[in-house]
Structure 1
Amino acid sequence: HENRFFKDRHWLFTEFPELAPQCSLNNDSHPQVSGADDSQQDSLEREQRIDVAALSLTDDDAPGSSATYRILEVGCGVGNTVFPILKTNNDPGLFVYCCDFSSTAVELVKTNPEYDPGRCLAFVHDLSDVEANYPVHDGTLDVIVLIFVLSALHPDKMQASIRRLARLLKPGGVMLLRDYGRYDMAQLRFKKGRCLSENFYVRGDGTRVYFFTQDELHEMFTEAGLEKVQNLVDRRLQVNRGKQLTMYRVWIQCKYRKAPVQPAKTEG
């Protein structure tokens, strides 16, 4: 539903440099999410990445088992994020997992000429089914991407889904989210009969959408054991000159990290 605006995915690597770290070493556009000890942090995460890659995956035949940098995109659609990642991130140790609820969308990803089974695995998955297995072990992913997907779940299913995803992250791994914010133009344009529950609506095509606040997302991620790196509102004025419409968009962008080093347990 944001297809036109997001067709040019250049924003992806500006906002989420974690998707292609080697391309953004000189990117100072977001100093607010950097820390003084970033180089130490990167070094630590690289060591952890190698350790986890060596120790965690015992099934050598599993897709991506020899990878040193693993990304999972949930709700990949037809690959508008996956293929730019594969094209931009030239890390030989990269492996991208991507899933979607729609088997048709996954089939379109797999039949795309840019799909490389040596670097990518597309699979059908229902994010709201927390019992369903992922093709990766817990504690092995560097990055999880959720772009306009969490909002499609029933609010009652969101927390458990985030908790399940958080288990897949390795220490130091990050979850990246971009989704609809409260009072986005799309919310204000819904007719009364389209509201399923507070801030949760059904579109004409039957798909559902929730409009978040920053606090709601913060609570969800921290309850899943993740630490805030970034939680901001992106407000934009979109002008459709053809229809002479001015649209006020509200999106929320989040980065939450699993603690790089788990605290040591004291006995007694």
Structure 2
Amino acid sequence: MDSGFVARAQATLAEDTSVVPEFWQSKYKDEAARNWDKFYNRNTTNFFKDRHWTDREFEELRPGYAFSEQRPVLLEIGCGVGNFIWPVVERNPDVFVYACDFSPRAVGFVTANERYNADRCRAFVCDITKDRLAETIPPHSVDLVSAIFVLSALPPEKQAAAVANIAEILKPGGRVLIRDYGVYDLAQLRFKPGHKLEDNLYVRQDGTLSYYFSTDRLQELFVGHAGLVEMENDYTLKRLVNVKKDIDADRVFVQAKFQAPLDTRSLEQAMEGTRVD
């Protein structure tokens, strides 16, 4: 990112010295799943659009991408109401998709969708910070894990457990695809005082959390904690212009790929001490 942009963003963030009281911080963190469930109760399936752009950003999601001779398996964490799942299933007839979310209501919308087919997809409720994915998905069996705007919903102290949980179900050579909010994103800079829980962690009006990632933080989580190999890890800037709302600013996202070691033994060694109990 441009040094001038970073300096201006840091100056803006430094103006907000307020922090949400500790009681409310604990409450928002403890009730994260409940607040997302309320979100889906209010918005049902109408809030997010289907993510048809993902295969432009990640070649692994394009039809015909070769993983192995076996049927490719993908896990989407934080599946919401299925906006990522449906385009992937439609474009890739050979892929089997696991999909999880910690909102039971969101998972219910997925399984109730007319496009849901148990032969192609299995959706289930899971809080990846504490529920072991390997109890539903065989260890070392998943080719791809998509984490699209989902890790930012977790407080920093729970992120390492979630990443270790994900690493346990990756095949040797399996990959994690990440797109999420980056530090100095427009949304972070526009938070008013009274929404900051700690550095880069904020609470929205509806009680849901939003964390803004640096590339260093992603590297710390996936390489340092989970023993994966960094393939890509960078910022993506998208210019947002809205004349009616007087907006002309950058959206900042992190986009990354991390790969499990190529043999199971190396993966197990990398996972030492990082499992979710």
Same fold (TM over 0.5): yes
Does the 8 Å contact 2:100/2:123 carry over to 1?
A: yes
Distance in 2, matches of 1:255 and 1:134, equals 25
Which of the numbers 46, 57, 61 marks the counterpart of 1:15?
Answer: 57
Distance (Å, rounded) in 2 between the aligned partners of 1:256 and 1:136 = 20
Partner residue, 2:146: 145
Q: How does 1:8-87 map to 2 (within 5 A)?
A: 9-22=51-64, 45-46=67-68, 50=70, 68-87=71-90
Partner residue in 2 for 1:259: 261
2:272 maps to 1:230: no
Q: Is the 8 A contact 1:228 1:255 kept in 2?
A: yes
Task: Provide, for residues 120-158 of structure 1, a one-character-per-residue CA deviation record: whole Å limited to 9, x for no partner.
Answer: 011111122144654111100000011111011110010
1-side partners of 2:221 and 2:232: how far apart? 14
Give the residue type in structure 1 aligned to 2:241.
Answer: V
Structure 1's 140 and 262: CA in aligned 2 closer, same or farther, altered over 3 A?
closer
Residue 168 of structure 1 pairs with residue 169 of structure 2: yes
Instruction: Give the number of the structure with larger relative contact order, counting CA–CA contacts within 8 Å between residues 6 or more apart.
Output: 2
Structure 1: any 5+ residue segments left out of the alignment? 25-41, 51-67
- Give the superposition deviation at 1:230: 0.8
Q: For 2:59 and 2:166, locate their aligned partners in 1 and report how far apart those are by CA, in whole Å.
A: 20
Equivalent-residue separation in structure 2 for 1:4 and 1:252 (angstroms): 25
After TM superposition, which residue ranges in structure 1, 4 or more long, deviate above 4 angstroms? 3-6, 130-134, 262-265
CA distance in 2, matches of 1:113, 1:246: 39
Shift of 1:261: 3.2
Aligned pairs for 1:208-219 (under 5 A) are 208-219=209-220
1:166/1:21 CA distance change after superposition, 3 Å: farther
What do residues 174-221 of structure 1 show as CA deviations (whole Å, max 9, x unaligned)?
001111100101111112211011111100000001111001101111
Does the CA contact (< 8 Å) of 1:225 and 1:258 recur in 2?
A: yes
Q: 3-state DSSP class of the match of 2:68?
A: helix
The CA distance in 2 between the partners of 1:263 and 1:95, in whole Å, is 25
Deviation at 1:7, TM superposition (A): 3.0
Unaligned runs of at least 5 residues, structure 2: 1-38, 40-44, 269-277
Aligned residue for 1:197?
198
**Do the aligned partners of 2:99 and 2:121 also contact (CA within 8 Å) in 1?**
yes
Query: Which residue pairs with 1:96 in the alignment?
Result: 97
Distance 1:213 1:100, change over 3 A: same
Aligned counterpart, 1:56: none
Letter in 2 for 1:252: V
Mapped contact 1:130–1:160 kept (Cα < 8 A):
no
In 2, are the aligned partners of 1:176 and 1:256 still within 8 Å (CA)? yes
Q: Which amino acid aligns with 1:46?
A: S
Q: Is the CA contact (8 Å cut-off) linking 2:182 and 2:212 kept in structure 1?
A: yes
Change (3 A) 1:130 1:103: closer
By how many angstroms is 1:76 displaced?
0.6
Aligned residue pairs total: 223
In the alignment, does 2:137 pair up with 1:115?
Answer: no
User: What is the aligned partner in structure 2 of residue 30 from structure 1?
Assistant: none
- The alignment's C-alpha RMSD in Å is 2.4
- Paired with 2:217 and 2:55, the residues of 1 have a C-alpha distance of 25
Distance, in Å, in 2 between the alignment partners of 1:172 and 1:143 is: 9
- Give 3-state SS (helix, strand or coil) of 1:138's partner: coil
TM-score (norm 1): 0.77
Q: Where does residue 241 of structure 1 map in the other structure?
A: 243
| 1:162 shift after superposition | 0.1
